[in-house]
């Protein structure tokens, strides 16, 4: 699963979004993005780059009951689970990123974070879903099986779309089977794992948190 990621920009290699949207996309400068924070999301809405909150809210919970946001959705069941089926059909999105973190367990009380990015440091896009929660747009990252590079830390990783597949992912004309075929582990030959500061992901005080917008 993906618990934290970054888009650290603007990126000079955002060609995948330039091709798709016809303009230069400069992600808001943000080193670390955590669940429930505002994130840049590419949809078929107007404007196409839309702020959402990271985490879908389950609609099956009783009114008044505390609801935990869903930040990751499994690719293997996204097309058939009642809670995600309609979103998979009609509300797919892109979540631009420059990398993401996973944790390797060193001991029962210690985990080592690793930052995964492209070797050429280019911007890429996670496959995602979005929804309207009482007027608030929310999103989640679709995950798939981990590639060989990520597997040492986690058996899941975000579904990263190849640039040539982005248009098909957002197209309303794409067939479900064709979309599912895009949600596969990204080639580890193109990625790099970097050992990071164990204290990096500690929750900062509210006053020190950065704002995306």
Q: Is the pLDDT of residue 36 over 60?
A: yes
- Residue 92 inside a domain? The answer is yes
Residues 59-83: pLDDT tens digits?
Answer: 765 555 566 899 999 999 999 999 9
How many independent structural domains does the chain possess?
1
Mean pLDDT of the chain: 81
Is the Cβ–Cβ distance between 196 and 116 less than 8 Å?
no
The whole-angstrom separation of Cα 127 and Cα 150 is: 17
- Residue 158 inside a domain? The answer is yes
Structural domain range at position 150? 5-59+68-197
- Residue 9 inside a domain? The answer is yes
- Residue 203 inside a domain? The answer is no
- Residue 208 inside a domain? The answer is no
- Residue 205 inside a domain? The answer is no
Tokens linked to 55: 């985490």
Please give the residue that has the higher pLDDT: either 103 or 131. Answer: 131
Is the Cβ–Cβ distance between 111 and 159 less than 8 Å?
no
Residues 148-181: pLDDT tens digits?
Answer: 999 989 999 999 999 889 989 999 999 999 999 9
Domain containing 111 — which CATH number?
3.90.1680.10
Burial zone of 90 (CB within 10 Å; 0-12 exposed, 13-18 middle, 19+ buried): exposed
Side by side, which strands form the sheet with 191-195? 30-33, 5-7, 99-107, 110-118, 191-195
DSSP one-letter code for 8: -
């Amino acid at each position: 699963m993906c618990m934290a990621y970054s888009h650290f920009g603007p990126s000079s290699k955002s060609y995948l979004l330039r091709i798709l949207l016809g303009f230069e996309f400069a992600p808001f400068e943000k080193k670390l993005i955590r669940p429930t924070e505002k994130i840049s999301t590419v949809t078929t809405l107007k404007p196409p780059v839309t702020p959402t909150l990271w985490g879908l809210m389950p609609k099956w919970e009783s009114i008044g009951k505390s609801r935990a946001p869903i930040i990751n959705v499994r690719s293997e069941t996204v097309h058939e689970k009642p809670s995600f089926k309609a979103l998979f059909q009609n509300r797919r999105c892109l979540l631009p990123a420059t990398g993401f973190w996973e944790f390797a367990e060193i001991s029962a009380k210690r985990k080592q974070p690793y930052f995964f990015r492209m070797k050429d440091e280019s911007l890429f896009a996670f496959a995602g879903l979005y929804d309207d929660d009482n007027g608030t747009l929310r999103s989640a990252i679709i995950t798939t099986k981990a590639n060989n590079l990520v597997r040492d830390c986690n058996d899941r990783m975000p579904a990263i779309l190849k640039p040539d597949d982005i248009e098909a992912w957002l197209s309303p004309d794409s067939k479900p089977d064709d979309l599912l075929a895009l949600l596969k582990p990204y080639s580890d030959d193109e990625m790099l794992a970097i050992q990071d500061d164990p204290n990096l992901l500690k929750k900062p005080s509210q006053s020190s948190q950065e704002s995306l917008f």
